[in-house]
């Protein structure tokens, strides 16, 4: 199951991206539209793959690519808003679990994908682990939208649709062509953010104020994001889009490790490490690990 190892490595990169994003969004780039714009524009970096095998899409594929791009960019904006409000080590696994659940539903409807009993059992453990770590007892019902989870829920829905559409596109083309089409679609939709005068003012005014340190963090984050994205796209191309998305919970393990290392240096991460909360996070890691073991055996 080579795609499984690819997913694990990809989420090591993505965990680093979430920590970097949280740091930047809490400081010099407070508006999510600015971040979503530049992340989207950098999607054209996949054009470097054109020499390795590219074919032009037909009209139906172009329409699918544009629709997928809309859901991806909208999901990013909602995600970055959620990260501005809540804890990265809670928002991240919640989104991962919600994406997996939505993907299970949409993949069945759109591409007819199903799981066998072992895969379904692993799916349950992986998703449950993500949900356990994202729940805060004091806020299960109170202030849902105030602490970022409402935004994260909506972002998850959009991301799930994007990934199922991406798998649908992959079913009808090669990996290189598919990833170039989808990422170009995302870049095109990101460009449409400039149609709003308010967005243009936010993007260009904020960009002028960026510090060198922030630019370095941003570039590092985008590099990790590109590597992580390539891994996830490759895994989706090779395997089940439902199982690939259910494995987003393992990203939490790496996020937790990085947060433990860095929360004293970057206090804006606002992670909590009391004994009770650590126990909850360890329980989540155990559940996620069980899911991984079931997939491997």
Domain ranges of the chain: 2-296
Token pair for 120: 């379904």
Determine the pLDDT at residue 67. 95
Locus of tokens 């019902």: 141
Q: What pLDDT is attached to residue 98? A: 87
End-to-end Cα separation, the chain, in angstroms: 10
Alpha-carbon gap, residue 296 to 291, rounded angstroms: 9
Contact indicator for 102, 161 with CB cutoff of 8 Å? yes
- 254: its two tokens: 């790496």
Q: Which residue has the tokens 């590597």?
A: 227
How far apart (Å, rounded) are the C-alpha atoms in residues 124 and 296?
Answer: 15
Torsion of CA 279, 280, 281, 285, to 10 degrees: 90
Residue that has been written with the tokens 């998850």 in this structure: 156
Residue carrying structure tokens 């170039």: 180
Listed in sequence order, the residues at least 6 apart from 295 whose beta carbon sits closer than 8 Å to its beta carbon are 1, 4, 118, 119, 122, 243
How confident is the model at residue 177, as a pLDDT? 92
Please give the torsion angle defined by the CA atoms of residues 202, 205, 211 and 217, in that order, rounded to the nearest 10 degrees.
Answer: 30
- pLDDT at res. 162: 95
In this prediction, residue 262 carries a pLDDT of 63
Res 180: pLDDT: 93
pLDDT of residue 185: 93
Per DSSP, the three-state class of 114 is coil
pLDDT of the residue at 141: 47
Question: Which residue from 257, 287, 249, 289 is spatially nearest to 273, judged by alpha carbons?
Answer: 257
Question: What's the token pair of residue 8?
Answer: 């694990």
Please give the chain's pLDDT, 297 residues, in tens: 578 888 888 888 877 777 776 665 555 545 778 878 888 888 888 888 888 878 888 888 899 999 999 999 999 889 888 877 776 667 777 888 888 899 999 999 999 998 888 889 989 988 888 778 766 655 544 555 556 788 888 999 999 999 999 999 999 889 999 999 999 999 999 999 998 888 888 877 755 555 555 566 666 677 787 888 888 899 999 988 988 888 877 777 777 777 667 655 555 555 455 566 677 778 888 888 888 888 877
SS3 240: coil
Query: What's the confidence (pLDDT) of residue 223?
Result: 78
């Amino acid at each position: 199951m080579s795609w499984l190892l690819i997913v694990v490595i990809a989420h090591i990169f993505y965990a680093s991206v979430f920590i970097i994003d949280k740091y930047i969004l809490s400081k010099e780039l407070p508006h999510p539209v600015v971040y979503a714009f530049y992340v989207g524009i950098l999607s054209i970096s996949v054009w470097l793959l054109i020499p390795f095998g590219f074919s032009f899409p037909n009209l139906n594929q172009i329409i699918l690519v544009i629709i997928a791009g809309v859901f991806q960019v909208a999901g990013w904006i909602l995600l970055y808003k959620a990260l501005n409000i809540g804890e990265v080590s809670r928002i991240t696994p919640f989104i991962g679990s919600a994406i997996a659940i939505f993907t299970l539903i949409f993949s069945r409807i759109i591409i007819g994908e199903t799981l066998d009993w072992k895969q379904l059992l692993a799916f349950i453990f992986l998703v449950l682990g993500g949900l356990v770590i994202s729940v805060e007892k004091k806020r299960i019902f109170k202030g849902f939208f105030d602490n970022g989870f409402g935004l994260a829920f909506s972002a998850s829905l959009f991301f799930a649709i994007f990934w199922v559409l991406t798998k649908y596109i992959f079913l009808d083309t090669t990996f290189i062509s598919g990833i170039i089409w989808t990422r170009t679609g995302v870049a095109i939709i990101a460009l449409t953010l400039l149609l709003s005068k308010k967005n243009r003012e936010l993007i260009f005014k904020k960009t002028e104020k960026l510090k060198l340190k922030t630019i370095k963090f941003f570039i590092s984050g985008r590099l990790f994001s590109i590597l992580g994205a390539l891994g996830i796209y490759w895994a989706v191309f090779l395997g089940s889009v439902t199982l690939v998305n259910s494995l987003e919970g393992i990203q939490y393990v790496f996020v937790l490790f990085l947060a433990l290392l860095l929360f004293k240096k970057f206090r804006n991460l606002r992670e909590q490490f009391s004994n009770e909360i650590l126990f909850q996070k360890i329980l989540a890691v155990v559940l996620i690990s069980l899911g991984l073991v079931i997939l491997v055996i």
